[in-house]
Structure 1
Amino acid sequence: MSSSCIEDESLRSSEWFRIVNEMLGRAEIALNGPQPFDIQVHNPAFFKRVLQEGSLGLGESYMDGWWDCDRLDIFFTRAINAGLEHQLPHHLKDTLRIAAAKLVNLQSKKRSWIVGREHYDLGNDLFERMLDEHMQYSCGYWKDATTLSEAQNAKLKLICEKLALKPGMKLLDIGCGWGGLAEFAARHYGVSVFGVTISAEQQKMAQQRCEGLDVTILLQDYRDLHEQFDRIASVGMFEHVGPKNYATYFDVVDRNLKPQGLFLLHSIGANQSHDKVDPWINKYIFPNGRLPSISQIAAASEPHFVMEDWHNFGADYDKTLMAWAERFHKTWPEISQNYSERFYRMFNYYLNACAGAFRARDIQLWQIVFSRGVDNGLRVAR
């Protein structure tokens, strides 16, 4: 290579550095700085990669060990509050993905099983150690809690109380996970529970967890449900439904809910209605996921139900994710032989990035209670 080419490459590299440094400066984040939220760059190609590939390049370069940060959660909180995600370029693939989401049903029956295989079937050894004893992979309720176990126990109790569960009732759990809610409701409230999941690993553990209780766990798409239930709950599943299926989802709930029934929807939510999908999260964590907005949920639910209560405790997801991250780090030596170092960096990045987003209030956590509007004297629990 000629000296002029080397000089040109050096100039381009310094320009990439200058732009990234200037952007991070708006969030008071330094390159190779002393603060725990500053980033330490190990590969100078990092700057060009981030500016050309945006969010995907940022996440993948971290997975590749090109940079580090002691407190990724604070880094993301600062970056989001400074609006840096809006200043990163949109890769052509991101644009095509948004277009595809508009034209194609990415959460069809056939495609709905993808997230089960690629995320929830990662390995029970990981989730058993990272989560609480109820295996709750959704936001805990930290109002009076000081530990993850207390927060998740409080969340399960809150759901059951909001649904006003009584012995002898039939409860449908759409997206039942590892059976934590099913077991809790059957054991403490005397209800009969029917749970569905799209994860084979979750079904296996849920059946073991609920052995001896009046609980049925099936590997089944929610669209194939045709029964009648007194109560329906859906916890941390609506994020995988997709806008093209919101109307169908509420049709399914409607046809399976008895006239005097109640339905509780527990979901992460977006502040605005948009077609954005974070490309890194979509590729590595939750394929084909979409966060609903208030208006999208309202439009899909209003032909069927009265909204009795809308409870936002999104700030609690920050605490939940940080508790998961702490347990993940502690348990890593026990399970590291089953996973790669790149997986460790990927999962660490995911937990901390999401914690930062909730802390910045960029995304929310909603529990919504619906009824048919009958005069049943309902007073929703808190």
Structure 2
Amino acid sequence: MLNLILSFVSCFLITWLIVRYGSQVCRLSLDWDIHSVQKNHSRPIPRIGGLAIVLATGITCMIGAVFGGNPRAETMLLLSASALPFASGLLEDLTKCISPRARLLSALVGALAGTWLLNAVIIRVDLPLIDKALLFSPFAVAFTCIFVAGLSNAVNIIDGMNGLSSGASILIFASIGYVAHDAGDWFVMSVALTMIGAILGFVVWNYPIASVFIGDGGAYFVGFVMAELLVSLVVRHPDVCAWYAASVAVYPLFETVFSIYRRRFLKGCAVSQPDDLHLHTLIYKRVTRHSWIAANSRERANARTSVYLWLLSMISITPSTFFYKSPAVLFLAMIGFIAAYLLLYRRIVLFKTPRWIFPHQKHPVESATARETNNR
């Protein structure tokens, strides 16, 4: 609990400094692009909130090692491995000229460092044929690096609305902390609690009204640490089903896979080309902007969108947390989430959004028809 409180207070104060003085000290920290397809804010906002999360995590780990008995060596090794992915993302936040390929490569190098420093290499996925292939060390290392880099990038992809990636990450870290506590893994649990506190300290300034963004640096750091903790749980505890790592993080992972499929095979464009067809963007444009509760506020509509995705992610996170030893439950949790995601996506794209998704208001099409009738 010391980790959670200390990281929360540290991140809260550091983020306040960024919000208060960031634009004055470094104008490069501001996100001036408010018109591109993936932007949903109306004013320039600092996008280096990830720096506060990293600094708070480092401070907490060092102080916690002295007063709380945190496993200092492993924690410092984890932070060292995450340095390159975070640095590449932070440079993108400041310069806007680091390509997606360069950032992904940085995440792969960081993941490779993690396999060496933490001995965190996936050697089983609880599927016989693949498990045999994983006995070949180079393949196991490559598989691990792809998973870690992929999840790091995935958290960045879902970072499109106020509090969306942060809230989803808190839910996933809470699950990781629970499983680690149940398995008796103090290292994983302490880092998970530290991340929850740090992200919460940031979220206060990011949700519902954003005064700061987590940025690519923060998203890559959060995703990298999340992936390394999931790999560590699977590697260090044979009773933790390997499918848990994919099931609990299926929302960012599937969002990435689906985005690749949509861009490459449906639109025939580059995978790295941004678009406004993510599920969170569609919900924002076709659901929350029509809600009475956000009728006069772009920011409130933005924040309300995140709630839908948090609830959707719980379809897989909740059963994965309490049945992390059961392959059958984990498989059904993943299938359930994917089915719900695709069904909701299809309904919104076809302008057949379910009525229940518009609380406290009639369906926007019906509302528009009623307004026309009254005007006559």
Give the structure, 1 or 2, with the largest relative contact order (CA under 8 Å, sep 6 or more).
2
Q: Which has the higher helix share?
A: 2
Q: Which has the higher strand share?
A: 1
Q: TM-score, normalised by structure 1?
A: 0.22
Q: TM-score, normalised by structure 2?
A: 0.23
